[in-house]
Amino acid sequence: MGLVYLVQHAEKDAAPGDPGLTDIGQEQARSVARWIKTRDVRRLFSSPLRRARETAEAIARELNLAVTLDPRLRERVNWDGTCAFETFLADWRESVRDRDFIPPNGDSSRQAGERMRAFLEDISAQHGAVVAVTHGGVTTDLLRTLLGGHKLSPRLLHDGVPPCAVTTATDMKITEIASVAHLRSP
């Protein structure tokens, strides 16, 4: 059985480029790590971007697992500060509206969703649960690819996936979307 927990990275610093986690984000990462420790996780993957790596490192410490970086888990586009943030947001909104729009220095929503689907397909044959720390946009792109955009809440499309939310896939089927219940538990 292919059980995959897609973990949205924790809260990041509001800065261009490749920012790390805030103090709150560090605590969110430790909280999701404690929750994941109760699962039978065998492998841990992460996007190569710093915010995801730092989240994965907190999980790795709790599980005593190595982190495998996989570029397919990276965000569809990352604001690097070379354009105004408002321009980046306008391109982001356009890529949500038009799944085939390719923003500068990024992938279209459709391309990102397909790359995430390929990742899931590749790891779904593994025994035991897998954790993949990734990003909200690309997780939403995957959900749109597997489920169709009409099955997602407009809030998720507009506001994105909350920090450290967990989306669960079992045998390539989405069984839970952006759960944050583990963040409220002691």
Give the residue-averaged pLDDT of 87-96.
Answer: 93
Which pLDDT does position 152 carry in this prediction? 87
Mean per-residue pLDDT of the chain = 93
Q: How confident is the model at residue 186 (pLDDT cuts 50, 70, 90)?
A: low
Q: What's the CA angle centered on 19, arms 17 and 20, to 5 degrees?
A: 160
Listed ranges 60-64, 80-84, 120-124; the one with the highest mean pLDDT: 60-64
Report pTM. Answer: 0.94
Determine the residue type at 41: V
**Structural domains of the chain ordered from first start:** 3-77+111-184 (3.40.50.1240)
Q: How close are the terminal C-alpha atoms of the chain, in Å?
A: 30
Task: Of 12, 29, 30, give the one whose Cα is nearest residue 21.
Answer: 12
Confidence check: pLDDT of 182 > 70: yes
Tell me the C-alpha distance between 33 and 174, whole Å.
21
Task: Indicate the length of the chain as a whole number.
Answer: 186
Q: How confident is the model at residue 2 (pLDDT cuts 50, 70, 90)?
A: confident
Q: Which of 14-18, 38-42, 61-65, 123-127 has the lowest mean pLDDT?
A: 123-127
Confidence check: pLDDT of 1 > 70: no
Which pLDDT does position 183 carry in this prediction? 83
Which pLDDT does position 105 carry in this prediction? 87
Which pLDDT does position 127 carry in this prediction? 72
Which pLDDT does position 35 carry in this prediction? 96
